[in-house]
Amino acid sequence: MRIGLTYNLKEEALTGVSADNEAGEEFDNIATIEGLCEVIVSLGHEPVKLGFGLGILEKISREKIDFVFNIAEGQGSRNRESHVPSILEMAGIPYSGSDALTLGLALDKIVAKKIIRAAGVPTPAYRQVSGPSEVYLSDKGLKYPLITKPSWEGSSKGIYNSSKAYTKKELDSSLSLLFSKYPGQPILVEEYIEGREVTLGIIGNNPASVLGIMEITNRSSKEKDFFYSLQVKRRWKELVNYTVNPDIPGNLLEEIKYYSLRAFKEFGCRDLARVDFKISRENKPYLLEINPLPGLSCEYSDLVILARQCGWKYEGLISEIINQAFCRYGLKNSGIKFNPVLHGKV
């Protein structure tokens, strides 16, 4: 099969902008694209780099693409992650991962919170602040400390060390900064849960299953509370430890797994997702975010680090995602060459 790759590159997003610009945080580097191409070749298929934009339609037709492996984050509005899936569906091209609706719902943090709450999954209390005129109400009914987040961003964009607020003055300052950096975008003000941070990987369809659970902790500090700010994420090698199968009481662990799979189903996720939780000091879980388009860098993406520590080779993770998508479309017997020695667990 000829498998197209849709993606956005950091190198293209950051051309001509300052080094501290956040524009490319969600995007992939060339090494990730090349790594995915190598896996596709090893499975007996031919990769075709499609990139992002309206031009992919012409490329799909010209290159006679049979299937698309989609990791494109898109550009522009809160619908940006939905652009490529929508184009592919109109063109009748099968693709990996969740559809346009799921990606749009999950990217908007405020809409996602409403779905999570409606599903009975615990999540921190919050308020939406739509503009500077609503700042005076930003902490109404909430308990400090609070945290501010742009509603439509991923990869910790707009979440800084200063985003955690202990006073109204600090909260107002954080909101002012975000309204200037992300004009026109609502801000999520959320009760900050002090405690442990864990992330779960989910793979599959009907039923999906938990690939594993990983705790994220401070490398250079004994402080038990972990705050995944943009500054920390950029320096993950020196600041962060990752531990799979962390010491979590059995009942609490099962509760977290249940809530993860519940969210996966409620959002209509397909093939893969990553789900992030905080565990309070009272051992209560709070779902922070579900990401149906998690990063797949072989070096720094949380889902890949989790899978590797659970014993999966990078090739095994990617080939399993492709296999799950093939099965959804009835393409299971499409000639995929899965070698358990090359692609399976370590």
Report the candidate in 254, 250, 257, 261 with the shortest Cα–Cα distance to residue 119.
Answer: 261
Quick one: pLDDT at residue 337?
53
Query: What's the CATH number for 125-191?
Result: 3.30.1490.20
Q: Average pLDDT of each block of 10 consecutive residues along the chain (346 residues)?
A: 94 57 84 96 96 93 96 92 96 97 97 97 97 93 97 90 95 96 94 96 95 92 79 87 94 97 98 97 97 95 96 95 95 57 54
Beta strands in 90-194 (DSSP E): 126-129, 146-150, 164-165, 187-191
Note the pLDDT of residue 222. 67
Nearest to 325 by CA among 154, 81, 85, 115: 85
Query: What pLDDT does residue 95 have?
Result: 98
Domain ranges of the chain: 2-95, 125-191, 195-310
Question: What pLDDT shows up at residue 224?
Answer: 72
3-state secondary structure 59-81: HHHHHCCCEEEECCCCCCCCCHH
- The closest of 254, 261, 221 to 240, measured between CA atoms, is 221
- pLDDT, residue 237, reads 85
End-to-end CA distance of the chain: 27
The correct answer on CATH 3.40.50.970 for the domain covering 195-310 is no
pLDDT of 35 reads 96
310: tokens are: 């659970």
Q: Which CATH code is given to the segment(s) 2-95?
A: 3.40.50
Cα separation, 42 vs 46, whole angstroms: 9
